[in-house]
Chains A and B, each alone.
Chain A
Amino acid sequence: AQSVTQLGSHVSVSEGALVLLRCNYSSSVPPYLFWYVQYPNQGLQLLLKYTSAATLVKGINGFEAEFKKSETSFHLTKPSAHMSDAAEYFCAGGGGSNYKLTFGKGTLLTVNP
């Protein structure tokens, strides 16, 4: 079965610190991987997506993610956290002939001043 696992349901960082949100996927997940962000009381906004063109993917708001096939990982990073980054982040896999997105459980990011 397809699965996407996000390690850590809650990550807390200080403003200006590195943000690292972890995502691992099962090998049965189709080749497209995504990170979405959900701000309180809002829908999901696409941060970035991997479609095999490049292993390092740059997204919006200074986020990037690296696809590592050998580790089946797609971790999200940002060099310097900002207060406005506080939100819930979802990793998802899907694409190609498999239409649905399979989501991880989400990681709530808290940024402390």
Chain B
Amino acid sequence: DSGVTQTPKHLITATGQRVTLRCSPRSGDLSVYWYQQSLDQGLQFLIQYYNGEERAKGNILERFSAQQFPDLHSELNLSSLELGDSALYFCASSGPGQGADTQYFGPGTRLTVL
């Protein structure tokens, strides 16, 4: 158990819909990262937040957005969903420093878009 929690574990929805994935980092960690794992693209970095502020952006679509709240939990919002958005979404946390350190991963949320 990494100490990073993600909900829900599974999500099944239809094209065009919007979903929210939730992540709680390890106690004391200030950085939260979101990754997408798909068969064709592998593991891709989406976005990072540090203590509520966006720090780095990767291959995140404009239909996707994220935020980190004062209690440090983070949410990844995916809208206008397409079949190709079906993937495993991982959250990771590290910290407390600003420089990237070891990232600890949550169990992931499996999103299926029908």
Asked if A103 and B106 sit within 8 Å, CB to CB, the answer is: no
Note all chain A residues with C-beta closer than 8 A to B25: none
Asked if A100 and B105 sit within 8 Å, CB to CB, the answer is: no
Note all chain B residues with C-beta closer than 8 A to A84: none
In the complex, A52 has a CB within 8 A of chain B? no
Chain A 55-94 residues near chain B, CB threshold 8 A: 90, 92, 94
**A112, B110: Cα distance in complex, Å:** 29
A interface SS class: strand
Interface size class of B (residues with CB under 8 A): 20 to 34
CB distance from B56 to the nearest CB of A (A): 5
In the complex, A17 has a CB within 8 A of chain B? no
Asked if B56 and A99 sit within 8 Å, CB to CB, the answer is: yes
Asked if A100 and B42 sit within 8 Å, CB to CB, the answer is: no
**A32, B102: Cα distance in complex, Å:** 9
Chain B 76-106 residues near chain A, CB threshold 8 A: 90, 92, 99-106
Asked if B56 and A46 sit within 8 Å, CB to CB, the answer is: no
CB distance from A34 to the nearest CB of B (A): 7
Note all chain B residues with C-beta closer than 8 A to A94: 100, 103
- Offer 30 A-B interface pairs, CB within 8 angstroms, sorted by A: A30-B100, A32-B100, A42-B107, A43-B4, A43-B107, A44-B105, A45-B2, A46-B104, A49-B102, A90-B43, A92-B43, A94-B100, A94-B103, A95-B99, A96-B100, A97-B99, A97-B100, A99-B31, A99-B33, A99-B48, A99-B55, A100-B45, A100-B56, A101-B33, A101-B43, A102-B45, A103-B42, A104-B42, A105-B42, A106-B43
